[in-house]
Structures are given as structure tokens and as C-alpha cells.
């Protein structure tokens, strides 16, 4: 049996042996890649954000990240935006707020800024003490100016926004919410005023009709479907229609 094996080996040329060896190496490389993909890397369902680590590392990362989110507080809004007249927390305030909680939970954040022309790109990496880490999708913004001040300001802005986002912080006033709330209050006040106006108008017409021995009940039920006193701001269109209908009686 050994003679047969020896004969076969001796019959393989150097070139063929090199080719087989290369194929074997390629197979080993592909096998290793699959093991890494299956065991050491988990890709989440949101774009370009990847969790790296084995099962133990990912578990530690999730536990410590959850602890951090439970203990961290929002930074103080100590600066005022001159354009929107709103307050926000500058980058140094955000960093001072998160450094200690991150350390206590065995976490750290790396922010890697790069530039491409007028674009500023910030890549955030959240690292766990056990070796697992998350690479978040990069934030890309355009600087107003291409000089050092413009690029530097854009980097600071992007770092503050992206850091606040990945660490679950609120680092500025919710102007959109405040504006919407203010508008809603104004609309409500206007509707209440109009409601009172049309309730009074239709009630006065009904009194006049009653003096003339005319019963507006059928018209009210047909147009409004309820008593005038029970009407709400949602009934304003019907109240306006009722006023016109009552005037025709």
C-alpha cells in the first residue's frame, strides 16, 4: 500500500503540487472567513451599523450599553443658537456628561473625523471592555466654508449630533415640538372663539324663530345632528351651515 502511495506522490509534478497547495490554502481562507462571519460578526437590520464580537463579547456589550442608557442624564443646554434662539449643549458639555457613565459601564467611544472636499464625515465606534464593539453608520455633513474654521465647526457640530444620537441623549431644545405645540394652542383658541360665536348666533336665531312660532328643531337635527349647546369645535362647519339654514326659515 505504501508503495502505491509513494508512486502517486512521485508522479505529481512540482507545478501541480504548487497548484494543489494554493487551492488548499484558498479553501482554508474561505473556511476561516465563514467561521468569522458566523461566529464573530453580527450585522444588524439597520443600514451600515455593525456589531463586532463573539457571543460573549456581544452579550457584555449589550448589558453594559443598557446599563449606560439607564444611568446617563441629558447634558445641560448651556449655549444659545443665535439663529433659532434655542438652547443646546455644546460638545464639551456632552463629553463631560458621558465620560464617567461610560467608564463606569466599561464602555468607550471613538470618533474618527475625516474630510472629503467640503464634506465632513464622522465615524463613531462604541467599544466594550470585553472586546466587542459597534461601528455606526457614518454621519456626513457639508461645511459652510472650506477654511479651517468652517471645517472645524462642522466637525464639532457633527461630533455633537452623532454622539448624542448613538448614546441616546437630548442635547438641544425640541423646537419643532415647541413650535407645533404653540401653533396647536393658537388653533384651539381660535376654534373655541369661533365655536362660541356660532353657538351664540344660532341660539339667537332660534329665539327669534320661537317668537314667530317657528320650530327650528327639525333643521337643527338635520344639519347639526345634536343640540347646539352640545356642539364642539369639530362641529364648526355644521354650525356655520346651520346658521344659514336657520336664516332661511
Each residue's pLDDT tens digit, 4-55: 433 333 444 556 656 665 565 566 556 545 544 444 444 433 457 888 888 8
Each residue's pLDDT tens digit, 62-83: 999 999 999 999 998 878 877 6
Q: For residue 188, give the C-alpha cell.
A: 384651539
Q: Cα–Cα distance between 132 and 73 in angstroms, integer?
A: 24
Torsional sign, CA 57, 59, 64, 69:
positive
Distances (CA, A) of 37 to 34, 185, 186, 216: 5, 54, 56, 78
pLDDT level of residue 211 (50, 70, 90 thresholds): confident
pLDDT at 84: 65
- 3-class DSSP assignment, residue 113: strand
pLDDT at 230: 81
Each residue's pLDDT tens digit, 102-136: 999 999 999 999 998 888 999 999 999 999 999 99
The answer to whether 107 and 115 have CB atoms below 8 angstroms apart is no
Each residue's pLDDT tens digit, 232-246: 878 888 888 888 888
Each residue's pLDDT tens digit, 143-161: 888 888 889 999 999 999 8
How buried is residue 117: exposed, middle or buried, by Cβ count under 10 Å (0-12/13-18/19+)?
exposed
Q: Is 110 left (phi over 0), alpha (psi -120 to 50) or beta?
A: beta
Chain-centroid distance of CA 162 in Å reads 11
pLDDT at 20: 63
- 3-class DSSP assignment, residue 135: strand
Q: What is the mean pLDDT of residues 174-188?
A: 51
DSSP 48: T
* Higher-confidence position of 193 and 224: 224
DSSP 230: G
Helix runs in the chain, H state only:
2-11, 14-39, 55-71, 91-104, 148-166, 175-211, 217-223, 236-247
pLDDT at 13: 57
| Sequence-distant (≥ 6) Cβ neighbours of residue 127 within 8 angstroms | 107, 108, 109, 110, 133
Q: Cα–Cα distance between 45 and 159 in angstroms, integer?
A: 24
pLDDT at 181: 52
* Higher-confidence position of 186 and 191: 191
Q: Cα–Cα distance between 108 and 95 in angstroms, integer?
A: 11
pLDDT level of residue 89 (50, 70, 90 thresholds): confident
The answer to whether 75 and 171 have CB atoms below 8 angstroms apart is yes
Q: Cα–Cα distance between 187 and 192 in angstroms, integer?
A: 9
Q: What is the mean pLDDT of residues 160-189?
A: 67
Q: Is the pLDDT reported for residue 215 higher than 50? A: yes
Each residue's pLDDT tens digit, 221-235: 888 888 888 888 788
Amino acid at each position: 500500500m505504501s508503495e502505491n502511495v509513494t508512486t502517486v506522490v512521485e508522479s505529481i509534478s512540482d507545478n501541480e503540487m504548487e497548484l494543489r497547495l494554493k487551492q488548499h490554502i484558498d479553501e482554508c481562507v474561505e473556511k476561516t472567513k465563514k467561521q468569522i462571519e458566523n461566529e464573530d460578526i453580527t450585522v444588524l437590520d439597520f443600514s451600515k451599523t455593525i456589531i463586532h464580537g463573539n457571543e460573549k463579547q456581544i452579550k457584555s456589550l449589550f448589558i453594559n450599553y443598557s446599563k449606560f442608557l439607564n444611568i446617563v442624564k441629558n447634558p445641560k443646554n448651556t449655549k444659545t443658537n443665535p439663529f433659532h434662539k434655542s438652547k443646546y449643549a455644546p460638545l464639551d458639555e456632552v463629553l463631560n456628561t458621558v465620560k464617567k457613565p461610560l467608564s463606569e459601564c466599561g464602555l468607550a467611544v471613538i470618533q474618527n473625523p475625516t474630510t472629503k472636499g467640503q464634506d465632513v464625515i464622522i465615524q463613531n465606534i462604541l467599544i466594550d471592555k470585553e472586546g466587542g464593539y459597534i461601528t455606526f453608520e457614518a454621519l456626513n455633513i457639508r461645511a459652510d466654508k472650506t477654511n479651517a474654521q468652517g471645517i472645524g465647526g462642522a466637525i464639532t457640530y457633527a461630533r455633537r449630533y452623532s454622539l448624542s444620537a448613538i448614546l441616546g441623549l437630548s442635547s438641544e431644545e425640541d423646537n419643532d415640538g415647541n413650535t407645533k405645540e404653540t401653533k396647536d394652542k393658537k388653533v384651539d383658541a381660535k376654534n373655541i372663539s369661533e365655536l362660541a360665536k356660532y353657538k351664540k348666533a344660532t341660539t339667537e336665531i332660534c329665539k327669534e324663530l320661537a317668537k314667530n312660532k317657528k320650530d327650528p328643531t327639525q333643521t337643527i337635527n338635520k344639519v347639526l345632528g345634536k343640540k347646539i349647546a352640545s356642539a364642539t369645535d369639530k362641529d364648526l362647519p355644521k354650525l356655520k351651515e346651520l346658521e344659514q339654514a336657520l336664516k332661511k326659515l
